[in-house]
Structure 1
Amino acid sequence: MITKGYSQKLEESRRIDFDSMIADAVRLVETGQYQSPYSLILVDEFQDISEPRANLIKALKQQKAFSKVFAVGDDWQSIYRFAGSDITIFTQFEAKFGASWQGRLEQTYRCNQLIAETAATFVQRNPEQITKSVRSTRPAIPRSIRVIPIDDERGRPEFAQACHRLLERLDIALGSIAGQWRSEPDAKLKVLVLWRYNLLDPFGGIPPSFANIEVSGQSFHRAKGLEADYTVLLDVSEGDYGVPSRIEDDELLNLVIPQPE
């Protein structure tokens, strides 16, 4: 009923959605109405691939003899299952696209070795993840990761207030050693505050201003790929809105997205 109504709305407005674009492209390639001139197909962020998009890549590869697929991705960064991505297409690449060669990029420039090792240990608790070693260009820095408990006798802790207090403390501390890091008079260090759901924004959309730090904030998903001098993760505690979140996907949603490994 829902699918029928949705399709009818698209027809009435003479529109197609993204999935329809992909399906139409697959049909045009498979029927030969589109002749691919490409011998090399490059795909970035391959860990986010979905079944329809994988079918398009396979159709292009099969249409032209001796064509090759060059895919770049990281299964550790696969966070878009809710949008249709299927990580098994990445982890079982040869089953989908045939014999392949795998190259590994295991050096990171984004964080020091302690953070890299901690993240790697955590991610690889899932046996389905591809095993890798991560080497950083920066040596390990002691106390790079700190857990700050917040207690509240009234029930759920007030994370917004706690976040503001923490930022104030950080600003004062960095101000006291500004001579060690400030290269220009008005320079500030970047602080990124992250939360699980958009409604948890502790700033109400307007990050506070400080003398020594430039504060910004986003949800985990939106912040993927960003960097900062300091990162604050809010509510890293199990619960409805914490990490991990106890809110389960709607059963109807599970009918249309890939099953988790």
Structure 2
Amino acid sequence: MSSTVAEVYERDGVVQVPGVLDRSEVERLRAAYMSLVAADHSLAVDDGVPDGDPLARYPRFVHPHRRTDVEAGRLAMDLMLDGRILDVVTTLIGPALGAQSMFYFKPPGARGQALHQDNTFLRAHPETCLAAWIAIDDVDAENGGLAVVPGSHRVELACPEPADLAESFTSVEVPVPAGMQTVQTRMAAGDVLFFHGSVVHGSRPNSSIDRFRRALIFHYVPEASTEIAEFYNPLVRPDRRTCTLPVAVGGGPCGEYADAEP
């Protein structure tokens, strides 16, 4: 793995790797998840969105890799442990365990997600989690692509403030650290954005007329982790065996905020 990837990650806490998945792989993922969401919402997170909200029809899915009885789940498990992704993960955080999979549909008109930091929720210790955010569509500001705050992996986890519910389906957000600023990402379908669990990131609404912003996201933690929030057990080893870490107790300095969402 090129040292440049590790150097960019060390400097910014976020690095984009282009073209990890090819067009046929992206199309297969897209078709599998669109078929699943049309038939079954059992993997959906209850975000409390009202009827008529675009996210009521297209809710985010959590832990599809645990549902290997359906194609979408099998694809998630395979890709979570795919060497093209896992090799980068290992370069950035060492030997790793798969902790979470998620699929976001974000249809036209859907609200975004306020700025947040992932390890507030995973509570991996003593290090942090790492996200691998896979673009299933071309992504930019118009259809609600991620905005990230480079360098924010060097600051402490921040406690939340109220979010603008007209813009975000989640109710709280963390502030941008002093002296830093958000950067809008642009990604082609098949690109992967890797980012540190303390990186502040979020997205604005999908303001496009006819463009989804679908994404498959994995979270990993170092194999040497000593605890994690209960929601993420059991974790997955690279050989597909599962393991369980001791449960992190308490919500840390932000209290119940850590339990607000997976």
Answer yes or no: same fold by TM over 0.5: no
Q: Quick check: which has more Rg, 1 or 2? A: 1
Q: Which has the higher helix share?
A: 1
Q: Which has the higher strand share?
A: 2
